[in-house]
Amino acid sequence: MNEKKILDGIRDLIDELTKITLESLVRTKELGEVHDFRAGTKTFKQLIQLFNTLKEANLNEVPGFILHELLNSLDTAKHIFGKIKQFNPKIDGAIRNRDHLITEVERFYKEQLQNIQSVISLSGAFNFQILVKRAREGINEIQKMRTEAENERKSLLSESKEIMDKMHDAAATVGVAAHAIPFAKEALSHQKQGNRWLWATIILAILTLGFGAGNVWYYIIKTSSLSSAQAIQVGISKLVVFGILYFGVVWCGRMYKAQRHNYVINQHRQNALKTFETFVKAASDEQTKNAVLIQATQSIFSPQYTGFVAKEPEPGASPKILEIIRGVFSSTKE
């Protein structure tokens, strides 16, 4: 038999032996714990590992007579494993035959271990080309993992930036809405106070009209029975009462007007804050956004007439806060 046929026979046997699993040799499921080959588990593992190592060896440079011995050894291993797989526990002396097979496997391992290891040593342990191939595959795999990790990192960064932008926008929207709440509460308070002053004005106006109508009727009926001094005294006292009622009507009307005025001012400020985000998002450049911000700030912080004082000073055209904002924008641009 020439070396090529020997090498082909060795490779076929190695392929066949390396396909054998530990479970197919122990056979616990088939034979049960009484007749299985668990006692030979350690030797089975060592042989299977030895055959797998031999499979990676480069046998092309091994001398022919050693290959011939290796072929015989592998054929013997195949024969022993075959008997283990065909073991029948129902025949007489089954346990004795099983123990004999385990002993035969152990003896084979002890006798052939050195020979097979010698073949592996002579073959250069492993085929260098296989090692290079595996190294390249490992490098390619690492590079692939690195690329995937980098892509995942970029994706996470992009998602994180998008989330941060959304959080920033949400925070800005919530912030503007939160600042609109105090103005809404203030507007509601002025509205309630205005309604009270309106009712007070109506009631005092009715009392004043009633008092005036009553006095007209009284003077028509009773004037003839009063002396001049009595008429003057009664007229002065009623004039005082009428003046107080009239002053009350005017005062309540002024308070209602002031409360209504402040209600409208705070409602305007609330609407300015509510619509601020809409105009900012619609703006296409920073200058427009800054202009919207200045106008919204002016509508909020510009002083307004309170309505409680008859002659209030003229409010300034532009509050100081606008000058501060302009200064901030100027320093940012520089």
pLDDT digits (tens, 9 = 90+) for 118-132: 777 766 544 555 556
Residue 146 has pLDDT above 70, yes or no: yes
Digit-coded pLDDT (tens) for 94-113: 888 989 988 998 888 888 87
Q: Pick from 126, 148, 177: which residue ends a domain? A: 126
Q: Which of 126, 159, 193 is the last residue of a domain?
A: 126
Q: Is residue 173 part of a domain?
A: yes
Sorted by sequence, the CB contacts under 8 Å of residue 197 that are 6+ apart come out as 252, 253, 255, 256, 259
Indicate the pLDDT class of residue 210, thresholds 50, 70 and 90.
Answer: confident
For position 267, what pLDDT does the model report? Answer: 82
Do 179 and 121 belong together in one domain? no
| In a domain? residue 42 | yes
Q: Is residue 132 part of a domain?
A: no
In a shared domain, residues 207 and 311? yes
| Residue 126 confidence (pLDDT) | 42
With respect to residue 131, please indicate whether it lies within any of the assigned structural domains.
no
Indicate whether 111 and 233 sit together in one domain.
Answer: no
Residue 295: inside a domain: yes
Structural domains of the chain, count = 2
The predicted structure's pLDDT at residue 31: 86
Burial 52-91 (b: 16+ CB within 10 A, else e): eebeebbbeebeeebbebbbebbeebeebbeebeebeeee
Query: Within this chain, do residues 178 and 116 fall inside the same structural domain, yes or no?
Result: no
Are 18 and 56 in contact by the 8 Å Cβ rule? The answer is no
Same domain assignment for residues 116 and 7? yes
**Residue of 179, 177, 180, 197 whose CA lies nearest to 307:** 197
Decide which of 92, 126, 160 is a domain's last residue: 126
Based on the domain organization, do 15 and 118 belong to the same domain? Answer: yes
Whether 57 and 184 map to the same domain: the answer is: no
- Asked if the structure places residue 80 within a domain, the reply is yes
Query: pTM for the complete prediction?
Result: 0.38
Q: How confident is the model at residue 330 (pLDDT cuts 50, 70, 90)?
A: low
pLDDT of residue 125: 46
- Give yes or no: residues 189 and 291 share one domain: yes
In a domain, 151, yes or no: no
Q: What pLDDT sits at residue 319?
A: 47
Cβ partners under 8 Å of residue 265, min gap 6? 304
Residue 206 pLDDT greater than 80, yes or no: yes
- CA distances (Å), 269 to each of 25, 130, 257, 276, 309, in order? 88, 79, 19, 10, 22
Termini Cα distance of the chain: 92
> Do residues 199 and 97 share a domain?
no
126, 58 Cβ separation under 8 angstroms:
yes
Domain that holds residue 207: 168-333
Q: Do 111 and 202 belong to one domain?
A: no
Please indicate, yes or no, whether residues 176 and 289 belong to a single structural domain of this protein: yes
Q: Give residues with Cβ within 8 angstroms of 176, minimum separation 6.
A: 273, 274, 276, 277
Answer yes or no: is 272 within a domain.
Answer: yes
Is 11 in the same domain as 115?
A: yes
Q: Residue 321 pLDDT more than 50?
A: no
